[in-house]
Amino acid sequence: MVWKKGGKPAAPKQRGWIRYFSPFCPSALREVFSVLNARLLRWITNKYKSFRRRKYQAWQKLKEISSDFPNLFEHWKYGYTP
């Protein structure tokens, strides 16, 4: 899979959101990062034909990737995994 860059360009912005909002409203961060994880799911289903009509399998693959590479995206480092 093509995951070399991951979320590196967006990492500083996500890190800032996490540091600023986590003491006050961690549930809001959960919602924001669940939307981001849903966007990653949509990217997987569009990129790979084998997942086009298999949303559950694509979600399982995203969960597998997040457990295998927890430092790939900044929000995964802080536990906001799919």
Q: C-alpha angle 42/50/74, rounded to 5°?
A: 40
Higher pLDDT, 50 or 5: 50
Query: DSSP state, 81?
Result: -
* Euclidean distance between CA atoms 25 and 42, whole angstroms: 27
* Euclidean distance between CA atoms 49 and 52, whole angstroms: 5
Q: b/e string for 22-47 if b means 16 or more Cβ within 10 A?
A: eeeeeeebeebbeebbeebbeebbee
Residue spans per domain, the chain: 46-82
Global confidence as pTM: 0.81
pLDDT, the chain, mean: 86
Q: What is the mean pLDDT of residues 34-39?
A: 93
